[in-house]
């Protein structure tokens, strides 16, 4: 099979916002407790946070982490997580039917995020709380001092403000599973008022308003339009959430799901631009795809959990090789839409549908999905180039005319190189893949790595990590063309020097 992708130096999609490689940590399952935080673990630091997990998070190069939820957010009182740890209340978390100890709260998480090199995308509760709590937490986090809440922060050990830039206005507020769920008008009004006063406290913050909980919701599209009618002048981003799974056990259909992600993004962009036109506005609302991942392996197991445990295992999907391939396709799709998707959060980071897993009292390890994300987050920076790709297509149950190769080309000006990410969706054929780089003087192949050759159900475990990138050899430069052979069912990264 042959595929040819043509790009031109002059034709770009957009500069990449590094926050497109963000992640998410919710107070649920073992994401926080025995995930990032485990006092008494042999690698624990003086504050109880696992150094082995910190090291893996740093490997992923995550620039921003959404916190503290998620469904947990809509019943969370942020004040429970500040002050003396021993005096913090234990609460029932109705979202996940567990007990929250509040040992890890705002200060602890901010310090941890700083240590792993990530900003925090803080979320405010618009389920059981509202405008007052929203303005208070911004004052607590971002005001210098001399007021009730900012002085409380200083008393609690943080003399300098946290300076949190990005804030989410609630979570999935159209979902009937959500504590305090609302109609679009109800949510739009409270989100607008919260946004207004939050920016009065700190005019430099950016705000993400909730889109509907997914494209399959009956509220989809009308929810986004109504919410933006209320909030357009006060917010900067609209959120999207979507999860993917191979319930049909059909790899052709599964690997085509990034086509659905692309359609979802373009639909939401159209809604944003409709409201922009309706309001005769010069302002453009961009997107925060602040929950995306693969989630289906753990559903049956989770249905058997006993309620009211502390940090029980929830949503602990063990990912396989085909999951890594789809995750690569989804990453490429986000990058191809980077003109409007400025923030994205892989949900989640540790233990809960996560690239990083831990054993309580034991080791931490990398799931199969860790590696495509890591390679993209480390290397996929600067400018995405527009492309035309000539490649055979296929039909499957849910999608038509799916290209066998999903690919994107990035020009990194600072490093003076071209980066190509590509997935071969075909299980049978190697693809003779040509990338014509018009307007570039290309000199050499810096790196060609691939993840391929595994059974589609192959997983990584705490004992061994077989599914990982390996060096590939079948690539060369011919004039202004990169020519490579990409193996059946493979994730590929090729870096070309200029």
Specify the residue for token string 């890594």: 324
Q: Is 291 a catalytic residue?
A: yes
In terms of DSSP H, where are the helices of 206-295? Answer: 222-231, 251-255, 257-278
CA gap 322, 240 in Å, rounded: 24
Q: Is 463 a catalytic residue?
A: no
Helices (H) and strands (E) in the chain, counts: 11, 25
Q: Which two structure tokens, joined as six digits, stand for 437?
A: 């780089």
CA gap 58, 258 in Å, rounded: 27
CA gap 223, 455 in Å, rounded: 42
Q: In what order do the strands lie in the sheet with 91-93?
A: 91-93, 98-100, 309-310
Q: Which of 461, 448, 389 is nearest to 419 (CA)?
A: 448
CA gap 330, 408 in Å, rounded: 11
Q: Between the CA of residue 330 and those of 10, 261, 369, what are the distances in Å?
A: 25, 7, 11
- The radius of gyration computed from the CA coordinates of the chain, to the nearest angstrom, equals 23
Q: Between the CA of residue 407 and those of 134, 386, 435, what are the distances in Å?
A: 41, 11, 10
Q: Annotate 428-469 with DSSP letters as a single string.
A: S--EEEEEEEET----EEEEEEEE-SS-TT-B--SS---S--
Q: Which two structure tokens, joined as six digits, stand for 356?
A: 């990083």
**Cβ(17)–Cβ(64) under 8 Å?**
no
CA gap 228, 185 in Å, rounded: 10
Q: What share of the chain is helix, strand, coil (3-state, %, to 5)?
A: 30, 30, 40
206: β partners: 166
Three-class secondary structure of residue 31 per DSSP: coil
**Cβ(7)–Cβ(437) under 8 Å?**
yes
Extended strands (E) in 16-58: 22-24
Q: Between the CA of residue 166 and those of 22, 59, 163, 328, what are the distances in Å?
A: 12, 23, 9, 26
Q: What is the largest CA-CA distance in the chain?
A: 68
CA gap 109, 256 in Å, rounded: 37
Of these residues, 79, 108, 139, 172, which one is catalytic?
172
Of these residues, 224, 291, 316, 450, which one is catalytic?
291
> What single DSSP character describes residue 306?
P
Catalytic residue positions, numbered: 172, 291
């Amino acid at each position: 099979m042959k595929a040819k992708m043509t790009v031109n130096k002059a034709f770009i999609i957009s500069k990449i916002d590094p926050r497109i490689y963000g992640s998410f940590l919710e107070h649920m399952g073992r994401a926080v407790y025995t995930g990032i935080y485990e006092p008494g673990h042999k690698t624990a630091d003086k504050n109880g946070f696992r150094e082995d997990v910190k090291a893996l998070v740093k490997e992923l190069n995550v620039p921003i982490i959404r916190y503290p939820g998620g469904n947990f957010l809509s019943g969370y009182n942020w004040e429970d997580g500040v002050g003396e740890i021993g005096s913090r209340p234990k609460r029932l978390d109705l979202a996940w039917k567990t007990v929250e100890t509040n040992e890890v709260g705002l200060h602890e998480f901010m310090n941890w995020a700083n240590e792993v090199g990530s900003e925090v995308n803080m979320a405010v509760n618009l389920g059981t709380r509202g405008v007052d709590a929203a303005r208070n937490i911004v004052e607590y986090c971002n005001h210098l001092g001399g007021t009730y809440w900012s002085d409380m922060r200083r008393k609690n050990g943080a003399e300098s403000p946290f300076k949190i830039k990005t804030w989410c206005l609630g979570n999935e507020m159209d979902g009937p599973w959500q504590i305090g769920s609302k109609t679009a008008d109800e949510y739009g009004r409270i989100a607008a008022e919260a946004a207004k006063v939050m920016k009065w406290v700190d005019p430099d913050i950016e705000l993400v308003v909730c889109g509907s909980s997914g494209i399959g919701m009956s509220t989809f599209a009308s929810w986004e339009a109504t919410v933006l009618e209320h909030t357009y002048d006060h917010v900067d981003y609209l959120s999207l959430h979507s999860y993917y799974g191979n319930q049909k056990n059909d790899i052709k259909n599964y690997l085509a799901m990034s086509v659905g992600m692309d359609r979802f993004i373009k639909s939401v962009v159209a809604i944003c631009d409709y409201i922009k036109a309706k309001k005769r506005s010069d302002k453009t609302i961009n997107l925060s795809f602040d929950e995306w991942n693969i989630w289906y392996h753990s559903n049956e197991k989770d249905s058997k959990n006993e309620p009211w445990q502390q940090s029980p295992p929830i949503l602990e999907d063990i990912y396989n090789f085909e999951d890594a391939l789809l995750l690569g396709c989804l990453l490429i799709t986000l990058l191809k839409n980077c003109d409007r998707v400025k923030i994205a959060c892989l949900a989640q980071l540790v233990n809960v549908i996560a690239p990083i897993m831990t054993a309580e009292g034991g080791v931490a390890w990398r799931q199969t999905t860790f590696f495509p994300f890591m390679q993209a987050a480390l290397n996929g920076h600067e400018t995405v180039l527009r492309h035309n790709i000539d490649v055979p297509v296929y039909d499957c149950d849910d999608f038509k005319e799916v290209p066998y190769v999903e690919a994107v080309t990035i020009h990194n000006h600072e490093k003076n190189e071209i980066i190509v990410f590509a997935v071969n969706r075909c299980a049978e054929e190697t693809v003779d893949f040509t990338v014509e780089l018009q307007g570039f003087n290309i000199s050499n192949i810096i790196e060609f790595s691939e993840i391929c050759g595994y059974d589609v159900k192959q997983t990584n475990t705490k004992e061994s990590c077989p599914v990982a990138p390996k060096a590939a050899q079948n690539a060369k430069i011919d004039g202004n063309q990169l020519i490579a052979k990409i193996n059946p069912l493979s994730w590929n990264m090729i870096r070309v020097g200029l």
